[in-house]
Amino acid sequence: MSTQPVKQGATLGVLGGGQLARMWSHAAQSLGYRTAVLDPDPDSPAGLVSHTHIQTAYLDPHGLAQMASVCAAVSTEFENVPADALAQLQQQLPVAPGPEAVRVAQDRALEKAHFVRCGVPVAPHQVIQHAAELSQVPEDLLPGILKTTRLGYDGKGQVRVNTRGELAAGLTQLQNGDPGVVCILEKRLPLAAECSVVLARSADGQTVHLPLQTNVHRDGILAVTEVYDGALSPETTALALRCAYDIARQLNYVGVLCVEFFLLQDGALRQTLGPLVVNEIAPRPHNSGHHSIDSCDLSQFELQVRCMAGLPLTMPRLHSPCVMLNLLGDLWLRQGDTPVEPDWAQLLALPGVHLHLYGKTLAKRGRKMGHLTVTAADMAQARQVALQAAALLGIAPW
Ligand code: ATP
Ligand code: MG
């Protein structure tokens, strides 16, 4: 990457036009840049707010050529954009994160191998591709979760398996006739909680991070994130940060990276593995970091822009404890199959509510339509208001 920051007025680009790219575009534009989005969907949330929207497939040579000619630097907003598209762009302009890091994050087997290389704790696991390998699976990986190594998100591409019979059936189900689909069996761990670290690393290795987020998932989808000082013990916090920094450094990572962790319940596994294990990484801003727009003096999206543009990084400071609630399409479909817009005015009458809608026109169950962040002077207040907001929307308490 060049040592001179990208000049204001230049165009920064992103592969993928979903909500992450949309919030990234807002941050880039507020720092004085133009934005370009490559996404085949004419109504993509980020395409709607960017100066340039290139509507082609991610590997389309014309689309990539146009991206390279317009942009001063390029990033990606989701890991399932082919790493090859990034590799092609990297021959012509700075790309952050780089294709090699994205390649690792795209594949649970490569990802786990990287974690093991870094010496960070992970769930006991085994990669499985052929039914013939099933007899070699150790008994103590069951009950487990069988996951495809590629293209899973929001809990898709996963099955819970309790017995060897279910494991065999799970492999058949996930492969769905395609023997090229590789799976990984992870031991199902007794979770006390989940948390994540969002960090940002510059081309010269300077690294900063958001305060640790604690996360509640429902049906494999992030539902609630809470952020406040003292959420985890200083020892656990330090361990999570050390793991996250090691993972990023050993990937030569540039850009925003999220590292997801499981916190283990007391018991034998915690005795052997320690208080936490790394689950997975996302090579981009992450849903659990959305709160930073409203709760921190530097958001994950601005951090991504600064990394790409070669601008300085400073340590983000949490100025308000907060709760983030995801707004899934289900909230639009509470009265049947015809979507009804929730009553936002009623919600915005509550103090410290920050509403973010992603401009998606079609509400579907499980689809991320927006989020809201509740900030307050202290965590008790933030939680109280967030619970009120959840009750108004029909989101179950956590
Ligand atoms: P996303 O990319 O949206 O974070 P994903 O589809 O990649 O999700 P994971 O993060 O692997 O999937 O798993 C989703 C959720 O399932 C986790 O957040 C956790 O709640 C649960 N889970 C996954 N693996 C395990 C495990 N080994 N033991 C216990 N729970 C697990
Ligand atoms: Mg996950």
Q: Is 115 helix (H, G, I), strand (E, B) or coil?
A: helix
| Ligand 1 binding pocket mutation candidate from 145, 221, 263, 368 (most atoms within 8 A of CB) | 145
For residue 161, what is the DSSP state?
E
254 part of a folded domain: yes
> What residue's CA is closest to ligand 1, atom 9?
155
Q: What is the pLDDT of residue 22?
A: 98
In this predicted structure, the answer to whether residue 153 has a pLDDT above a threshold of 90 is no
Residue 130: half-sphere exposure toward Cβ, Cα within 13 Å: 3
pLDDT confidence band for 220 (50 / 70 / 90)? confident
| Ligand 1 binding pocket mutation candidate from 80, 194, 217 (most atoms within 8 A of CB) | 217
On average, the pLDDT of the chain sits at 96
CATH number at residue 63: 3.40.50.20
Tell me the angle at which helices 61-70 and 83-90 cross, rounded to the nearest 10 degrees. 50
DSSP sequence for 101-112: HHHHHTBHHHHH
155 lines ligand 1 (CB under 6 A): yes
Q: Are residues 207 and 315 in the same domain?
A: yes
Q: What is the pLDDT of residue 82?
A: 83
Asked whether 382 and 354 are in contact (CB, 8 A), the reply is no
Q: How many domains does the chain have?
A: 3
Q: Are residues 286 and 331 in the same domain?
A: yes
| Long-range contact pairs involving 55-64 (C-beta distance under 8 Å, separation at least 24) | 58/15, 58/16, 58/82, 58/85, 59/84, 59/85, 63/38, 64/38, 64/88, 64/89
Q: What is the pLDDT of residue 78?
A: 85
Q: What is the pLDDT of residue 334?
A: 94
pLDDT confidence band for 174 (50 / 70 / 90)? very high
pLDDT confidence band for 88 (50 / 70 / 90)? very high
Q: Are residues 276 and 155 in the same domain?
A: no
- Region 228-249 average pLDDT: 97
253 part of a folded domain: yes
- Region 145-172 average pLDDT: 90
115 part of a folded domain: no
pLDDT confidence band for 201 (50 / 70 / 90)? very high
pLDDT confidence band for 354 (50 / 70 / 90)? very high
Q: What is the pLDDT of residue 151?
A: 83
Q: What is the pLDDT of residues 58-81, one digit of tens each?
A: 999 999 999 999 999 999 998 788
> What residue's CA is closest to ligand 1, atom 31?
188
186 lines ligand 1 (CB under 6 A): yes
Q: What is the pLDDT of residue 212?
A: 98
In this predicted structure, the answer to whether residue 1 has a pLDDT above a threshold of 60 is no
Distance (Å, whole) CA 172 – CA 177: 7
Q: What is the pLDDT of residue 175?
A: 93
Q: What is the pLDDT of residue 79?
A: 76
> What residue's CA is closest to ligand 1, atom 21?
220
Q: Which residues contact 272 (CB under 8 A, 6 or more apart)?
A: none
pLDDT confidence band for 316 (50 / 70 / 90)? very high
111 part of a folded domain: no
Q: What is the pLDDT of residue 83?
A: 87
How close is the Cα of 279 to the center of ligand 2, in Å? 7
Q: What is the pLDDT of residue 86?
A: 94
**Ligand closest in space to the Cα of 263:** 1
Q: Are residues 183 and 199 in the same domain?
A: no
Q: Which residues contact 282 (CB under 8 A, 6 or more apart)?
A: 79, 105, 257, 258, 260
Q: Which helix (H) or strand (E) holds 131?
A: none
User: Which amino acid, residue 140?
Assistant: D
How close is the Cα of 149 to the center of ligand 1, in Å? 12
Q: Are residues 129 and 196 in the same domain?
A: no
Question: Ligand 2 is a single-atom ion; what residues have CB below 5 A from it?
Answer: 260
- Region 190-195 average pLDDT: 97
- Count of positions (residues) in the chain: 398
> What residue's CA is closest to ligand 1, atom 17?
220
Pairing mode of beta strands 158-161, 144-148: antiparallel
Residue 30: half-sphere exposure toward Cβ, Cα within 13 Å: 12
Q: Are residues 183 and 215 in the same domain?
A: no
Tokens standing for 103?
């390649």
In this predicted structure, the answer to whether residue 2 has a pLDDT above a threshold of 60 is no
Q: Are residues 271 and 287 in the same domain?
A: yes
Q: What is the pLDDT of residue 114?
A: 98
Tokens standing for 78?
């989701």
Q: What is the pLDDT of residues 239-292, one digit of tens each?
A: 999 999 999 999 999 999 999 999 999 999 999 999 999 999 999 999 999 999
**Of residues 209, 218, 211, 212, the one with CA closest to residue 196:** 212
Residue 219: half-sphere exposure toward Cβ, Cα within 13 Å: 7
189 lines ligand 1 (CB under 6 A): yes
Q: Is 239 helix (H, G, I), strand (E, B) or coil?
A: helix
How close is the Cα of 268 to the center of ligand 1, in Å? 21
**Ligand closest in space to the Cα of 220:** 1
By residue range, what is the domain housing residue 355?
Answer: 191-393
Q: What is the pLDDT of residues 22-65, one digit of tens each?
A: 999 999 999 999 999 999 999 999 999 999 999 999 999 999 99
Q: Are residues 273 and 383 in the same domain?
A: yes
Last residue of a domain, which of 141, 161, 187? 187
Q: What is the pLDDT of residue 104?
A: 95
How close is the Cα of 277 to the center of ligand 2, in Å? 13
Q: Are residues 316 and 338 in the same domain?
A: yes
Q: What is the pLDDT of residue 332?
A: 97
Distance (Å, whole) CA 291 – CA 324: 6
